[in-house]
Amino acid sequence: MKKAFITGINGQDGSYLTEYLLKLGYEVHGIIRRNSVPEHQQSRIDFLRKDLHVSYGDLLDVSGLERLLKNIQPDEIYNLAAQSHVRISFDVPQFTAQVNALGALNLLEAFRNTCPDSKYYQASSSEMFGTSIGENGYQSETTPLNPTSPYGCAKVFAFNITRNYRKSYKLHAVNGILFNHESPRRGSNFVTNKVVKGAVMIKKGLATKLELGNMDSYRDWGHSKDYVRAMHMIINHNIPDDFVVATGQTHSVREMTDYVFSKLGLDYKKFVIQNPIFLRPEELPYLRGDSSKLRKTFDWTPEYTFNALMDEMIDFWMENIKI
Ligand code: NAP
Ligand code: F7E
Please check the confidence at residue 236 and state whether its pLDDT lies above 90.
yes
Considering every ligand atom shown, identify the ligand nearest to the alpha carbon of residue 278 and give its number.
2
**Per-state percent for the chain, helix, strand, coil, to nearest 5:** 45, 15, 35
Look at residue 103 and tell me if it is in a domain: yes
58 has pLDDT over 90: yes
Ligand 1 center–CA 8 separation, angstroms = 5
Low-confidence winner among 41-50, 59-68, 229-238, 282-291 (lowest mean pLDDT): 41-50
- Residues 146 and 208 placed together within one structural domain of the fold: no
Determine how many CB atoms are found less than 10 A away from the CB of residue 143: 20
Calpha distance 307→42 (Å, rounded): 29
Does residue 153 sit in the same domain as residue 7? yes
Considering the domain architecture, whether residues 87 and 137 belong to the same structural domain is answered as yes
Q: What is the DSSP letter of 115?
A: -
Kindly report the CATH number assigned to the domain that includes residue 55. Answer: 3.40.50.720
Residue-range definition of the domain harbouring residue 282: 188-219+250-287+305-320
Catalytically active residues, by annotation:
125, 127, 151
At 259 the pLDDT is 98
How many separate helices (H) and strands (E) can be counted in the chain?
12, 13
Helix (H) or strand (E) run with residue 255 in it? helix 253-263
Tell if the pTM clears 0.95, that is, is over it: yes
Which ligand does the CA of 194 lie closest to? 2
Model pLDDT for residues 210-223, shown as the tens digit of each residue: 999 999 999 999 99
DSSP string, 66-109: HHHHHHH--SEEEE--S---HHHHHHSHHHHHIIIIIHHHHHHH
Residue 108 included in any domain:
yes
Over residues 66-78, mean pLDDT? 98
Nearest residue (CA) to ligand 2, atom 1? 191
The tens digit of pLDDT for each residue in 140-190 reads 999 999 999 999 999 999 999 999 999 999 999 999 999 999 999 999 999
pLDDT band at 323 (very low <50, low <70, confident <90, very high): confident
Ligand 1 pocket check for 257: Cβ under 6 Å: no
Residue 277 lies in a domain: yes
pLDDT digits (tens, 9 = 90+) for 82-108: 999 999 999 999 999 999 999 999 999
